[in-house]
Amino acid sequence: MAGPSKAGPALRLLRKGQVERAAEMFKKLLQQDASDLGCMVGLARAHLARKKFDEAQPLLRQVLSQVPDHGEAQSHLAFIDFQNGNAPALDVLKRLTLSRKAGFFEFFNAGTALLQRGDDQGAQVALERAKQADQKSPQVRVALAQMHMKRGDFRDAIAELKVAVELAATDPLPVLLLSQAYAAMGEAGHGADAVGKALLTQPQSAPLHERMVEVSLLAGWPQKAIKSAIALRQINRLNPDYAYMHAVAMLASGLVSEARHILEGALQKEPKSAALRQALAQTMRLMGEEAKALAMLEETAQHKPGDPGVAADLAVAYLKAGDAAKAQKVLKRALEEHPTHPVLLYDLALALGKAGDKAGARATAAKARASTDPLVAELAAYLLQRLG
């Protein structure tokens, strides 16, 4: 009988996430002892982690030739079959979870396949069992949290994600999802706190800084948004999006002329961006340059008539000038591309109301009131009251 496997050190490397180095070590050990089962399983895992299914398959078959009831190897092979489009492999994956000896991978593979098949209930059962088998797997926590978020159970998602953040402290993904769940709950401040904590260990993470700008703005903390926008610009000076985010954060902080200055610089790099031109027009208007702002919006609308921000700003300018027909025209054109856009719907309700079409105004305002944006929902409710 073969002695104990020498896979230990390579497995430890694999667990640290050093997949390439671990794979090399497994290969070397297998050259010394081609029958080392632990190394075969380890190398197969390394291949699966890199989606190299074709390389994992022969190793797993070899494991089964020596230990025919090796549950993990059977599960991985069935999972690869399922990924290759063999639907009945799902039944094999389910059957393997029923074994008394079933371990983490049997449950994890079945849960993932069930999730892909759209069987959320079955997936949840399998993933909960996977969680019991390995309490410290951040992947299972994230998978469960994704299912909770899909169903709108944000509290449960937050509970799982908090653990995932602790378990995968150097990966930005769990924190990104956690802040998203908090934002969906209307608790953007908690999201900003979580991102801020993660930034202490990952100060150069662009996705984390981007999220910090977003959730800080949502939480009403523009200073934090400015700080992260500046960090983003230091990470990548060439990205015009980061300059734009910086300008929006400055605008939110009341620094209008500074924001305009940054936007004018970014416009040279992205002259066709409707978002940039719209933000610039808003700074011009705030600075009292109404004619200049209108000219910029009209020029932008010619190139991008469906842009919701530009259309809404133009409509407001036309409504202010008393031209409800022109306002309706630009709004209806943009609504063709964005039929549920809350601001477009709200402004159209106003334009219809101003033109005397109260029934049309009421119906449109009711649609705007359903918006998840609290400001639009509140104003739409007020408009409905006024319309009677």
Does residue 379 bind another protein (CB under 8 A)?
A: yes
Among 175, 251, 296, 335, binds another protein (CB under 8 A): 251
Spell 269-284 as b/e; 16+ CB within 10 A means b: eeeebbbbbbbbbbbb
Does residue 366 bind another protein (CB under 8 A)?
A: no
Segment near another protein (CB under 8 A); pick from 80-88, 89-97, 192-200, 233-241:
233-241
Among 354, 360, 362, 366, binds another protein (CB under 8 A): 354
Whole-number minimum distance, CB 288 to another protein, in Å? Answer: 6
Give residues with Cβ within 8 angstroms of 112, minimum separation 6: 79, 123, 143
**Binding to another protein, residues 154-173 (CB under 8 A):** 157, 168, 171-173
**Binding to another protein, residues 125-144 (CB under 8 A):** 133-134, 136-140, 142-143
In whole angstroms, how far apart are CA 96 and each of 87, 117, 130? 15, 17, 13
Does residue 122 bind another protein (CB under 8 A)?
A: no
Q: How far is CA 203 from the centre of its chain?
A: 20
Q: Indicate the angle between helix axes 104-117 and 138-151, nearest 10 degrees.
A: 30
Among 68, 88, 118, 288, binds another protein (CB under 8 A): 288
Neighbours of 49 (CB within 10 A): 14
Whole-number minimum distance, CB 88 to another protein, in Å? Answer: 23
Segment near another protein (CB under 8 A); pick from 5-13, 87-95, 118-126, 192-200:
5-13
Segment near another protein (CB under 8 A); pick from 85-93, 118-126, 193-201, 342-350:
342-350
Task: Give the count of residues interacting with another protein (CB under 8 A).
Answer: 140
CA distance 369 to 153: 23
Does residue 353 bind another protein (CB under 8 A)?
A: yes
Structure-token pair, residue 238: 């060439």
Does residue 71 bind another protein (CB under 8 A)?
A: yes
> Among residues 343, 387, 388, which one has the least CA distance to residue 367?
343
